[in-house]
Chain A
Amino acid sequence: MALTLEDLRGSVARRRREASLRLIFAAAAMLSIVISVAIIISLVGEAANFLFHVDPASLIDRGWFPRRSLFGIPTILAGTFIVAGIGMLVATPLGLGAAVYLSEYASPRLRRTVKPILEILAGIPSVVLGYFALSVLSPSVVDPVCPGQTNIFNMAAAGIGVGILITPLIASVAEDALYAVPRSLREASYGLGARKRTTSLRIVFPAAVSGIVAALLLGISRGVGETMVVAMAAGASGGSLFQANPCQPGQTMTAAMTALATGSDQTRGLAFPSLFFVGLLLFVMTLALNLVADAFVRRVRTRY
């Protein structure tokens, strides 16, 4: 009797189980696409509803008071940029400095001790940082710096809190990028007589610049999307006039969304759909930042 393919295939039950399991796993993977589509649909649906009915003039109004139908987008955009900007001002030197030190100067033992600490810092929930911003940063750090009598709620405190939140993220991504730079580059530099400082700044840092830019972009993305710190510390939960002074309370996109969601959930007026419109804006902004950051990370990978 000749050996046919059927003989080698094994039992039918085994093959059927194999095929059905493969299908189940594939379905699980495709679920991610379903979720993305669901996010986009749920956002776009209500956002379109909002845009359809809103008076375009109110969109560039000088204030964000959704319950009074004043939807001044520049106000919340300014708030987001100021808070994220202050956050990046704090996080970039701290994060990059820590990353360069850990990667170039620290002993292996120090690195082993510090990296878990940074992981812990990264794991602190934003509510805790919001409390810290409100109870410590605002009275002790912002009040002395800002002129006059500062409101306990202000964008600067929220910004510093966001900065503390982002620092471990920037530090770890940047450190990975610096670590990936081949040792041979450093050794070539030393061989030519460069000091350690020159090597770190002029050779290693530029070699890792793609990864570092990615780290900063991810930091900005995280800072833009941060909600609890600003909801607790930046104030202006009812709404706000356009505010560019960080020493004053202000409204960011995320805090505006929180305020809309915790208030009355009545769908009277355009307050409820505006929540989704702002959400869509936020989603698009962070998606763009993440895609660009991704492109930079891929550039690092292909080089080495």
Chain B
Amino acid sequence: MTTRTRNQALSTADVVRQTLNGRRVDLGTFVFEWLLLLALVITIGLLVVLLVSVVTDGLPVFADRGTDFLTANLASSPERAGIAQGIVGSLLLMVFVVLISFPIGIGAAVYLEEYAKDTWLTRLVNTVIRNLAGVPAIVYGLLGLAIFVGALGGLTGGRSVISGGLTLAVLVLPIVIITTAEALRAVPMTIREAAFGVGATRWETVRSHVLPYAAPGIFTGTILSLARAFGETAPLIVVGAIAGTFRYTAHGIVDQLQGPYTALPTIIFGFSRDPDSGFRAATAAAIIVLLVVLLSVNALAIFLRNRFERRW
């Protein structure tokens, strides 16, 4: 990859034109460049406005109640409602995502990049995966509703964390495969050839040569996929995460997993629909928690990528 040298703000023709015109500034060029910059500024500005509005709406909740907001259960009055059940639910869902989609996703990527020959089947699988990554999240919710809640309802307990977790795992799987495949592709062939040259089998090559070098890229990809799954709402709603209030005392871990649940994004959706205007601050406060988690995870991924990235 060639390094980018500083793009000249003006080309030779621009400079000549300006000199001939005796003016320091050519209006057309000036306006054009600043319109483009305006587009960029507006885009970033919207982000700033969003963050500012969320923080100003939601910070008073933490000022008034402190960590009570994080530890209380859902309630019908905004002064008492908290997001504890959502945090627990989201964490459980992430456990499912990690346990299911990471091994399967990395395994699939390893197969497609290391083992598969370039046949029509391999090309079909690649196309299918790319298209699955573009399917709207709510369609995965329908898949989960039909299969995990419906057909496999006996095993999963219907509208339970298990169904939700499986649905999110399936949603995230294509992304894990694609990012892992990219990380594997970035490892030069010479590394593999060196291993083959001393008699390693394909798996031994992958395990001891390719995967360690691809690990930072794979980590980054999987962490970003996790962040994506954490913020997903639509499929969870379809699959049965509760958007209102509920109380559930579980008798043991299996009961907990098969019972009703909610997640942080779903709570945000539920709060926002509540006609009680006091919930607006609660919605913003819950969003602050969500954004803090997401920003930390993204920052971690970017940090890991910059720290461990190799330049071949």
What total of A-B pairs shows CB separation below 8 Å? 276
In the bound complex, CA of A248 to CA of B10 (Å): 47
By beta carbon, the residue of chain B nearest A112 is B4
* Cβ-defined partner of B234 (8 Å) among A39, A94, A258, A286: A258
- B268 CB → nearest A CB, Å: 5
How far does the alpha carbon of A94 sit from the alpha carbon of B177 in the complex, in Å? Answer: 31
**Is A244 an interface position by the 8 A CB rule?**
no
1/0 contact trace for A202-215 toward B, CB 8 Å? 00000000000000
Question: Are B142 and A275 in touch, CB under 8 angstroms?
Answer: yes
Assembled-state Cα–Cα distance A193/B107 (Å) = 54
Query: Which residues from A are CB-within-8-Å of B6?
Result: 107-108
Supposing A35-B173, A123-B294 touch, asked if A28 and B107 sit within 8 A by C-beta, the answer is: yes
What residues of A have a CB within 8 angstroms of the CB of B10 in the complex? 196
Q: How long is the Cα–Cα vector from A189 to B184 in the complex, in angstroms? A: 38
Query: Which B-chain residue is minimally distant from A109 (CB atoms)?
Result: B6
Query: Do B39 and A197 touch (CB < 8 A)?
Result: no
> A231 at the A/B interface (Cβ < 8 Å)?
yes
Q: How close is A303's CB to chain B, nearest CB, in angstroms?
A: 18
Tell me, in angstroms, the Cα distance from A163 to B288 when the chains sit together: 22
Contact residues in A for B238 (Cβ distance below 8 Å): 257-258, 261
The residue in chain B whose Cβ has the minimal distance to the Cβ of A179 is B4
| Overall SS of chain B's interface | helix
> Which segment, of B46-54, B60-68, B76-84, B254-262, faces chain A?
B46-54
Q: Is B304 an interface residue (CB 8 A)?
A: no
Residues 19-30 of A, flagged 1 when their CB comes within 8 A of B and 0 if not, give 001101110111
Report the count of interface residues on A (CB-CB < 8 A): 96
Q: In the bound complex, do residue B43 and residue A171 qualify as a contact, i.e. CB atoms below 8 Å apart?
A: yes
- Min distance, Cβ B113 to any Cβ of chain A, angstroms: 10
Interface size on B, as a range, is 35 or more
Q: A18-B203, A101-B40, A123-B298 are in contact. Are A38 and B147 (CB under 8 A)?
A: yes
Name A's interface SS. Answer: helix
A39 partner residues in chain B, CB cutoff 8 A: 135, 139-140, 142-143
Residues of B within 8 A of A46 (CB): 146
Determine if A114 and B29 form an interchain contact, defined as CB atoms under 8 angstroms apart. Answer: no
B residues 124-165 with Cβ under 8 Å of A? Answer: 124-125, 127-132, 134-143, 145-147
> Of A25, A105, A127, A164, which one neighbours B231 at CB under 8 angstroms?
A127
Closest to A39 in B: B143
Whether B7 lies near A227 (C-beta < 8 A) is no
Contact of B243 among A31, A120, A195, A262 (CB under 8 A): A262
Partner of A22, one of B42, B115, B139, B147: B115
For this complex, 15 residue pairs linking A to B, each with C-beta atoms less than 8 Å apart, are A28-B104, A35-B132, A35-B143, A98-B36, A120-B47, A124-B294, A126-B231, A126-B233, A128-B290, A134-B272, A135-B280, A199-B11, A228-B234, A254-B138, A294-B130
Excluding A28-B108, A105-B33, 4 further A-B contacts by CB distance (< 8 Å) are A43-B139, A94-B43, A123-B227, A124-B291
